[in-house]
Structure 1
Amino acid sequence: MTDEQLRQTQTTQATAVPRVIAGRYRLLSELGRGGMGVVHRAEDTVIGRHVAIKELRLPDGAEDAGVFQERVLREVRTGGKLNDPAVVTVYDVIAEGDSTFIVMELVEAPTLSDVIRTQGPLPPHHVAAIGDQVLSALQAAHSAGIVHRDVKPGNIMVAANGRVKLTDFGIAQAVDDPRLTTSGMLVGSPAFMAPERVAGREALPASDLWSLGASLFFAVEGSLPFERSTTAATLHAIMHEVPFLTHAQGPLASAIMGMLISTPEARITAEQARGLLGMAAQQPGYAPSTPPGGQHTALYPNGGQPPTMMGPPTAFAHQQPPVRKGKRKALLIGGAVAAVALLAGGFFLGKPVWSPSVDEAMATTLTYGEGGDMGSYYFDGSSYWCVNTPLGAGRSISSQNWVDCEEEQHDAQLYEGSYPVGLSDEEGAELADYPGPERLNAFAEAKCSVAFYSNRIRPEYRPALKYQAVVPSKAEWEKAPEDSTSDPVRYIYCFVVSANGGRLDGYQTNQVN
């Protein structure tokens, strides 16, 4: 054997010797790489089981390896105390040299990101079941004072039997330290980062819910709700845009979009979201009807065409909508998103889903119909979206009050609306009971607020506007329909009015060019 061959043989033998961590964990193969490190399959030689080991990298620009290891040890050990079936168990945390290793339960399952990349969007009831299990893990963490900070499809593992595991608890928290990160560095995945974190606020439990909402949106739609071509554009979308769902409705849509409410204090809670997801997971037979072209008529009126985020609201109904029982379609207008179908959260769980702090832009909610603030109310949903009479107690709106927004000054503009609660999809189902003014107002105000702060309203006009919800009175809610083929009148309406009490000119909404 020549000297060169001998050297090659010795090199091969040296590289073939497995690397051992802490004299105990033998690294066998690499399972994957990510922004925070490398994941290895390893063998625990003491007890003979296979484990996963995440080797964390010191963040770019960091100079203090000691601080990094100290924080990782503290945060991950705290996360390792969590006990929930959906939490990946942490067995050990090791600092060795300049490296930090987290020894975890080995879960041989693809991530949700991998599943969607290979299989495409998942059925709504599967997405709901995944979300319910992740929420279980998050509730356990939040109860222990732990915020995950990096909930995303790449950290959600989905086994073939449907079991779900959420991994990487504590890692984002450990890395997010000004002594470790370069100025302006974002810790976490921008496309799944909650608006309050983009704005520089500390991560909250509600921030994890936002990230989960974005992850479930991705799972059911197959696309990311806020990802754009650049990080800056992505962050702008998170702060200023509202996505809409095309493959989900009912409780699942309510849960996802309720978690994506931009104000953390107004987001639905984990408990409310689990209630909605639990209902959605029990609907395996749900499949929206799909006409030619692939759009879901179960979500969109107007021949299955999706609502645009631009332009005057699509006509959503006359005061007596000719909709047959068992075939009622979910109501969305122009900039309406399935988000604002928060109805299930409040009305089906028996509690409001909206507990906003005082919003100075929200005017007093009014009732219409018999015994209501406004008395009679007529909506001409065919042409006009502005009214030439102020909204207020003692006022009425007739067909003569609807005017062209561009041709006449007006007192209010309709920009959103909804049919909050009605018949089930089953023929002959009983009417839903009047939910009471508190819950009905809460639904209406939530819906109007979401649309008001979306790109439905022109941002340059928003500071000079207030928004106002108009809901049916109890008598109007309980009024019998005119015939057996119609649903009762239960629409809520959202208007914008001048913040200083003056009149408006032109459309306050975005328009199609």
Structure 2
Amino acid sequence: MTDQDASTRSRRRLAGRYVLMEEIGRGGMGVVWRAEDTVIGRNVAVKELRPPEGVPQQERGVLEERVLREARSAGRLNDPSIVTVFDVVSENAATYIVMELVEAPTLADVVQVNGPLPAAQVIELGRRLLHALQTAHAAGIVHRDVKPGNIMVLPDGRAKLTDFGIAQAADDPRLTTTGLLVGSATYMAPERISENAATAASDLWALGATLFHAVEGRAPFDRPTTAATLHAILNDVPYLTRCQGPLASVIMGLLITRPHARLTAEQAAGLLDATAARPELSGPLGTAGTQQVTSPMGPPPGHYGAAGGGYAMPGARIEKNRRRWPAVVGALVVVMLASFGGGYLTRLVGSADDVQDVPAHLGGAVAYGSGGELTGFSLGAGECASGALSGRGFTRESAVPCEEDHDFEVFRRNRPFDLDTGAAYPGREELTRYAAGLCELYFTSDRIDLPADESDNLAFTVIVPTESEWTTDSENTTGLNDENLSYCVLHRTDGATITGSMLSSPED
């Protein structure tokens, strides 16, 4: 017997074939071992399930039973961006998941060592992970813990989503009723906090937070304490500062608080697929160009930042031009106001083959009234206010002096039909197109004083009424009162506030 044979016999062996070699990771749900499958002769990863301390025994049993069942389900998933599950073993009152061994850093490691990723890399990362989640969701499996630490980044640019060991079947309510929240708080969707509802939509929210982390270099809602983090998820609006255009639209669209208003996987994938060939449209704010990248996702493990490897860091050469990014590209897209608030622009583009002209400075669009992002809006031209354009209303009482710091300024109000016609509601898309063209005309005119050094950081948002807010009573549409009005709102794209008015001559 050789020394190697003796060493192998002294190690733990599972199911008569998996020899645990060394511990390679540890998390809230268990320990991961490097192991050898002695039957096939390959290295594998083995996750030993260890539920968090303090979980009641009955709940622990439910968790272990479900993990066993869902790990077996995950083993049937076939996607190049999902870590393959080979086997599940129950032995000595413990559960072990045998899976593909991926020797690569996690996305969290890559960002921590190298900083934010260029937009082109995040776009490709998002495309792969969306496809992985679509595969899982189609099989009825919800991951429950999508986060940078569960995404392995290979040297050739591929990504692998791992840790389906705590995944949940969409039709299994038992842990919801017992009250155990499984997952990482920083990447937990709002509905999971308020209702403990783990769904495909909550996985997509977590993906949005993960892509935010990748492009910004930080988690969008990370706070000093768990309570503060959960409060931020429920109440705060994160601001993107390092990307724009379709990528920003996807990230903010996935981070919409209300699940039914959130981007679907198909909508997000359509946006990313359409822009994959033109990643410069989603580059750092104020630029449109290409970033120098020597490796799709960074250097191999253990060689971060080595000479000749890695990817371009902030400050790398970017080829600039003066054309603004198109606000909308893709199929059945819902374009979010990426750096400013929670509204969206619905279907300005029918498909990748049916791209319509979109004003160059349009940052997004929201609607006010029942069914809209805003409960109401009635500010006058030349008035300023602060706050996200989502989940609230703005009236004259909401206005602040423009000389003070503010988030946006109304620079134009308009009613699209003759004042006395009482026309029927034309539809949100039609109103948005009409208002966007008018706002663009004013935004680029001499009525707006755009500082030369800030012009690339400014955009406008269109605010239109919903159908419930529209009136066909011609007696209520005389003069420029607040009926049937659309608004043009000027703001910064980097989330910073504005001091002073940008209007040379506000008028209604």
TM-score (norm 2): 0.62
Deviations 1:416-452 (A, max 9, x none): 7799xxxxxxxxxxxxxxxx954365xx6xxxxxxxx
Q: Within 1, Cα distance between the matches of 2:135 and 2:116?
A: 28
**8 A contact 2:67–2:167 mirrored in 1:** no
Q: Within 1, Cα distance between the matches of 2:367 and 2:73?
A: 31
1:404 is displaced (CA, Å) by: 10
Deviations 1:221-275 (A, max 9, x none): 0111001111111001000110010111001000000000000000011011112
1:361 is displaced (CA, Å) by: 7.6
- Report whether the alignment pairs 1:245 with 2:244: no
Task: Return the letter of the residue paired with 1:492.
Answer: V
Task: Return the letter of the residue paired with 1:40.
Answer: W
| Of 27, 32, 52, the match for 2:25 | 32
| Of 492, 498, 504, the match for 2:462 | 492
Q: Within 2, Cα distance between the matches of 1:180 and 1:272?
A: 30
**8 A contact 2:256–2:262 mirrored in 1:** yes
| Of 251, 256, 274, the match for 1:256 | 251
- Is 152-161 or 177-186 further displaced after alignment? 177-186
**8 A contact 2:141–2:167 mirrored in 1:** no
| Of 26, 45, 50, the match for 2:38 | 45
What residue in structure 2 maps to residue 385 of structure 1?
384
What residue in structure 1 maps to residue 221 of structure 2?
226
Q: Within 2, Cα distance between the matches of 1:177 and 1:63?
A: 19
Unaligned runs of 5+ in 2: 1-5, 289-320, 328-336, 356-363, 386-395, 413-425, 449-454, 470-475, 483-496, 499-508
Alignment map for 1:385-404 (pairs within 5 Å) = 385=384
- Report whether the alignment pairs 1:161 with 2:156: yes
Q: Within 2, Cα distance between the matches of 1:355 and 1:150?
A: 33
Give RMSD over aligned pairs.
4.8
| Of 131, 134, 141, the match for 1:139 | 134
Deviations 1:278-304 (A, max 9, x none): 244333556857xxxxxx5449xxxxx
1:327 is displaced (CA, Å) by: 4.1
1:79 is displaced (CA, Å) by: 1.8
**8 A contact 2:71–2:167 mirrored in 1:** no
Deviations 1:434-477 (A, max 9, x none): xx954365xx6xxxxxxxxxxxxxxxxxxxxxxxxxx7459848
Task: Return the letter of the residue paired with 2:13.
Answer: V
1:58 is displaced (CA, Å) by: 3.0
SS at 2:142 equivalent: coil
Greater C-alpha Rg: 1
Q: Within 1, Cα distance between the matches of 2:193 and 2:271?
A: 27
Alignment map for 1:127-206 (pairs within 5 Å) = 127-173=122-168, 185-206=180-201
SS at 2:57 equivalent: coil
| Of 351, 365, 371, the match for 1:359 | 371
Deviations 1:195-223 (A, max 9, x none): 01111242111101100000000000011
When residues 26 and 475 of structure 1 are mapped into structure 2, their CA distance, relative to the original with a 3 A threshold, is closer
Q: Within 1, Cα distance between the matches of 2:212 and 2:444?
A: 39
**8 A contact 1:216–1:256 mirrored in 2:** yes
1:158 is displaced (CA, Å) by: 0.8
- Report whether the alignment pairs 1:54 with 2:47: yes
Q: Within 2, Cα distance between the matches of 1:365 and 1:405?
A: 11
What residue in structure 1 maps to residue 295 of structure 2?
none
- Count of aligned residue pairs for this structure pair: 378
- Report whether the alignment pairs 1:212 with 2:224: no
SS at 2:168 equivalent: helix
| Of 92, 95, 99, the match for 1:97 | 92
What residue in structure 1 maps to residue 271 of structure 2?
276
**8 A contact 2:241–2:339 mirrored in 1:** no
Alignment map for 1:401-440 (pairs within 5 Å) = 405=399, 437-439=427-429
What residue in structure 1 maps to residue 333 of structure 2?
none
**8 A contact 1:255–1:345 mirrored in 2:** no
**Percent identity for Structure 1 against Structure 2:** 49
When residues 480 and 286 of structure 1 are mapped into structure 2, their CA distance, relative to the original with a 3 A threshold, is closer
1:337 is displaced (CA, Å) by: 2.0
Q: Within 1, Cα distance between the matches of 2:429 and 2:131?
A: 26
Q: Within 2, Cα distance between the matches of 1:490 and 1:281?
A: 25
**8 A contact 1:69–1:95 mirrored in 2:** no
What residue in structure 2 maps to residue 395 of structure 1?
none
Q: Within 2, Cα distance between the matches of 1:169 and 1:355?
A: 39
Deviations 1:123-163 (A, max 9, x none): 01101111110100100111111111110011111101011
Task: Return the letter of the residue paired with 2:11.
Answer: P
**8 A contact 2:347–2:429 mirrored in 1:** no
Q: Within 2, Cα distance between the matches of 1:230 and 1:338?
A: 26
**8 A contact 1:148–1:172 mirrored in 2:** yes
| Of 54, 66, 73, the match for 2:68 | 73
What residue in structure 2 maps to residue 337 of structure 1?
339
Deviations 1:406-425 (A, max 9, x none): 69xxxxx9957799xxxxxx
What residue in structure 1 maps to residue 417 of structure 2?
none
**8 A contact 1:60–1:182 mirrored in 2:** no
When residues 415 and 330 of structure 1 are mapped into structure 2, their CA distance, relative to the original with a 3 A threshold, is farther
When residues 119 and 363 of structure 1 are mapped into structure 2, their CA distance, relative to the original with a 3 A threshold, is closer
1:341 is displaced (CA, Å) by: 8.0
**8 A contact 2:365–2:462 mirrored in 1:** no
**8 A contact 2:35–2:45 mirrored in 1:** yes
| Of 105, 108, 111, the match for 1:113 | 108
Q: Within 2, Cα distance between the matches of 1:122 and 1:406?
A: 37
When residues 207 and 416 of structure 1 are mapped into structure 2, their CA distance, relative to the original with a 3 A threshold, is farther
SS at 1:30 equivalent: strand
When residues 66 and 228 of structure 1 are mapped into structure 2, their CA distance, relative to the original with a 3 A threshold, is closer
SS at 1:232 equivalent: helix
When residues 353 and 111 of structure 1 are mapped into structure 2, their CA distance, relative to the original with a 3 A threshold, is farther
SS at 2:99 equivalent: strand
- Is 16-25 or 158-167 further displaced after alignment? 16-25
Q: Within 1, Cα distance between the matches of 2:20 and 2:369?
A: 52
- Is 347-356 or 270-279 further displaced after alignment? 347-356
When residues 406 and 138 of structure 1 are mapped into structure 2, their CA distance, relative to the original with a 3 A threshold, is closer
Q: Within 1, Cα distance between the matches of 2:249 and 2:190?
A: 19
Unaligned runs of 5+ in 1: 1-12, 290-295, 300-324, 367-376, 387-401, 408-412, 420-435, 445-470, 504-510
